[in-house]
């Protein structure tokens, strides 16, 4: 093992990684810079997505009729209930069509899982399915999707996978639910656990390109919502918005029931509940992630939770993890997450006394 590999394992228990089927991450030659990894992360080929997915608008809030669009790929009916079901949740301004989501979906499907690619509210051109905006605190939407499909198909074991903002959502739900069936595990890549720290990092000069990318999408989406629901959303009194924090302060807080951005960041952050996670949970994060930051107290809470495997690497950028491996393992995080989830599924079947298929 190279010295760099050893350094990459510095914050993870090597025995725990081995047990979970994970290999050390070594960045692709010439891509040890976090910005390069982040920018190029979507451009190396992924496995071909072979499925013709079924779409369904799932009700997540009966109070206002809010629905989210899910794209599902189910294993044959005879084994569907006993197979691991993986619900994938994208990041800020992503969708079920994001390359990383379809990449991990292809891997999970090939491993024999049922796969649900969930859009957050309004994402994937679904603005008309809800009168509300989406934000980082809507973990109940993920829970509603899980319960919907568990009831529909009698699913025995469901794992949640989240990237960035989606990572915060699934960790928040896991902390809120504890050990509640059918949830059997969680895996996240670069989760935005400490929302305030991440928002402030986005506004740093070196990260303004990323912030403007997100901000343009958020403002464009808000204008669409205002056009669809002019009685709810105003455009005339918003004023200039030049940062994600300003967007969260002027729009998210105003229309989603928070006092201000700080109140939103506190109440929506999974950092408050990660100590209560009671199912196996994998958290992958890179120390050179340009804008997702983790506070020392959050890291301490994760390390103190025996259900959490925190894998911190020196390199990897934001949700990129382009590795030196060949073939499908170029995208190290995606292949690692699937290996981890399949290990969880095997252990869950042993614990339940099921032989499975």
- The set of residues, in sequence order, having a beta carbon less than 8 Å from that of 317 and lying 6+ positions away, is 33, 34, 35, 36, 37, 38, 39, 41, 286, 288, 289, 290
C-alpha 30/C-alpha 264 separation (Å) is: 39
Tell me which residue of 318, 289, 348 sits closest to 157, measured CA to CA.
Answer: 348
Tell me which residue of 314, 323, 311, 330 sits closest to 19, measured CA to CA.
Answer: 311
Domain spans of the chain, in order of start: 3-192+279-352, 195-268
Which tokens go with 300? 């301490």
Is residue 317 within 8 A of residue 286, CB to CB? The reply is yes
Is residue 183 within 8 A of residue 278, CB to CB? The reply is no
Provide DSSP, 148-165. Answer: HHHHHHT-S-EEEEEETH
Is residue 147 within 8 A of residue 116, CB to CB? The reply is no
Question: Please, is 304 exposed, middle or buried when counting C-beta atoms within 10 Å of its C-beta (0-12, 13-18, 19+)?
Answer: exposed
SS3 state of residue 341: helix
Tell me which residue of 71, 67, 75 sits closest to 55, measured CA to CA.
Answer: 71
CATH superfamily for 3-192+279-352 is: Alpha/Beta hydrolase fold, catalytic domain (3.40.50.1820)
Tell me which residue of 340, 351, 345 sits closest to 79, measured CA to CA.
Answer: 345
C-alpha 91/C-alpha 211 separation (Å) is: 14
β-bridge partners, 160 = 87, 186
Q: Nearest-5° angle of CA 265, CA 269, CA 271?
A: 130
Displacement of CA 177 from its chain's centroid (Å): 17
β-bridge partners, 155 = none
SS3 state of residue 117: strand
Cis peptide leading into 182, omega within 30 of 0? Answer: yes
- The set of residues, in sequence order, having a beta carbon less than 8 Å from that of 3 and lying 6+ positions away, is none
C-alpha 48/C-alpha 231 separation (Å) is: 44
Tell me which residue of 179, 175, 182 sits closest to 116, measured CA to CA.
Answer: 182
Is residue 85 within 8 A of residue 157, CB to CB? The reply is yes
User: pTM of the predicted model, to two decimals?
Assistant: 0.93
List strands edge to edge, sheet with 54-61: 54-61, 66-73, 114-118, 85-89, 158-163, 183-189, 281-286, 308-313
Tell me which residue of 49, 55, 47, 1 sits closest to 24, measured CA to CA.
Answer: 1
φ, ψ for residue 333, nearest 5 deg:
-65, -40
Give, for all 357 residues of the chain, the pLDDT tens digit.
344 443 443 455 666 777 777 888 999 998 999 999 999 987 888 888 888 899 999 999 999 999 999 999 999 999 999 999 999 999 999 999 999 999 999 999 999 999 999 999 999 999 999 999 999 999 999 999 999 999 999 999 999 999 999 999 999 999 999 999 899 999 999 999 999 999 999 999 999 999 999 999 999 999 999 999 999 999 888 889 999 999 999 999 999 999 999 999 999 999 999 999 999 999 999 999 999 999 999 999 999 999 999 999 999 999 999 999 877 789 999 999 999 999 988 887 766 665 544
């Amino acid at each position: 093992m190279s010295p760099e590999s050893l350094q990459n394992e510095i914050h993870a228990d090597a025995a725990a990684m081995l047990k979970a089927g994970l290999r050390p991450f070594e960045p692709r030659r010439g891509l040890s810079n976090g910005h390069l990894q982040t920018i190029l992360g979507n451009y190396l080929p992924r496995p071909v997505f072979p499925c013709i997915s079924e779409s369904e608008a799932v009700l997540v809030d009966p109070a206002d009729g809010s629905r989210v669009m899910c794209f599902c790929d189910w294993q044959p009916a005879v084994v569907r209930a006993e197979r691991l079901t993986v619900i994938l949740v994208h990041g800020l301004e992503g969708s079920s069509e994001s390359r990383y989501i379809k990449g991990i979906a292809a891997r999970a499907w090939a491993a024999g899982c049922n796969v649900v690619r969930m859009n957050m509210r309004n994402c994937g051109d679904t603005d008309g399915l809800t009168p509300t905006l989406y934000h980082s605190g809507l973990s109940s939407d993920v829970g509603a999707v899980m319960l919907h499909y568990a009831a529909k198909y009698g699913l025995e074991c469901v794992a949640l996978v989240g990237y960035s903002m989606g990572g915060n959502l699934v960790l928040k739900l896991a902390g809120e639910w504890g050990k509640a069936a059918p949830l059997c595990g969680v895996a996240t890549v670069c989760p935005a656990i400490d929302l305030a720290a991440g928002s402030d990092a986005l506004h740093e000069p070196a990260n303004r390109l990323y912030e403007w990318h997100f901000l343009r999408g958020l403002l464009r989406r808000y204008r669409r919502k205002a056009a669809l629901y002019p009685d709810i959303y105003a455009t005339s009194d918003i004023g200039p918005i030049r940062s994600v924090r300003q967007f969260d302060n002027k729009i998210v807080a105003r229309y989603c029931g928070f006092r201000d951005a700080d109140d939103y960041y506190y109440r929506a952050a999974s950092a408050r509940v990660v100590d209560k996670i009671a199912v196996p949970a994998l958290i992958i994060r890179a120390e050179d992630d340009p804008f997702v930051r983790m506070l020392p107290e959050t890291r301490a809470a994760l390390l103190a939770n025996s259900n959490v495997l925190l894998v911190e690497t020196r390199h990897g950028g934001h949700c990129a993890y382009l590795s030196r491996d060949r073939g499908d393992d170029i995208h190290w995080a995606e292949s690692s997450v699937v290996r981890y989830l399949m290990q969880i599924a095997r252990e869950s079947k042993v614990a339940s006394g099921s032989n499975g298929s």
